[in-house]
Amino acid sequence: MNIIVVGGAGFLGSHLCDALVRKGDRVLCIDNLITGNKENVVHLVKSRNFIFIEEDIITCEVEKKLLFTPDIVFHLASPASPKDYVKFPIETLLVNSIGTKKCLDLCLKTGAKFLFTSTSEVYGDPLTSPQKEDYWGNVNPIGPRSMYDEAKRFGEAITMAYHKKYGIKTYLPRIFNTYGPRMRLDDGRVIPNFISQAIKGEPLTVYGDGKQTRSFCYVDDLIRGLLMLVESNYHMPVNLGNPEEFTILELAEKIRNITRTNIQIEFLPPLPDDPRKRKPDIELAKNLLGWEPTINLDDGLTKTLSYYTGKTS
């Protein structure tokens, strides 16, 4: 198939491009590189089935860049870590609003399917756990994370509006915490933070009491879920994540175990609006797609650490 991946040089986007090229699809990758990295896809440039364009989807005249009529457009372009979307608040809001509309308009003209990568952050600081797709969330619309939370909620809304009004085949995966090779070690999220600190022999910094929970999905499992979703005829939101729940302190202990160190844990003040619970209910993905994660946290962390120690050795 002919596929456009917007944000294809980012962490998730580059792994998606890998998977698509491996199965023989022709991929046009569009990325402005504000949080992505061309090194993530440089190995693909040699392939005749891969084209990279450094452009901002907000301002890019996409139709003039096309070398083919797309079958699917994947929209993964957005800062995704608190550190990044605080640094780029307007860009985050615009890429998920104007950028999403531009992708949808392209799909409307070409008949392509459209997948918008939403997020567990649409649930905000949830008052119920695990989070099911029919939970409307507990979100602060003007808080320190609002530029991301509300941008993704708008992205879902406009995607659903185009689906209902024009009949476009659309998909709304809500992605929970995902990790693996190619995450920027300075992106501010907890796993790259801990790995970076462990490699440097620095204390592992825990915000608050460390009892807040997260559920971590290895990137290969997540990409497999995205590819299965676009083969379905389901257009409502679908949670994709690993339902195994760990406290941040438990994660810190796992990092100490796999690095075989006794690095200290340093407690810092809690982050504002930091969710206390984050655990997906994935029954819908299991029943609809036959999808569930297969890589446990210990194995995934070992793979991820090996990637970074290999790059620094």
Q: Which residues are tagged catalytic?
A: 148
> What is the distance, to the nearest Å, from the Cα of residue 27 to the centroid of all Cα atoms in its chain?
19
116, burial (CB in 10 Å: exposed 0-12, middle 13-18, buried 19+): buried
Q: How far is CA 74 from CA 85, 117, 155, 265, 312, in A?
A: 20, 8, 13, 39, 32
Calculate the CA dihedral of residues 194, 19, 78, 51 and round it to 10 degrees: 130
CA 261, CA 87: separation in Å to the nearest integer? 33
Residue 6, token pair as written in the block: 């917007």
CA 267, CA 210: separation in Å to the nearest integer? 8
Element (H, E) at 174: strand 170-175
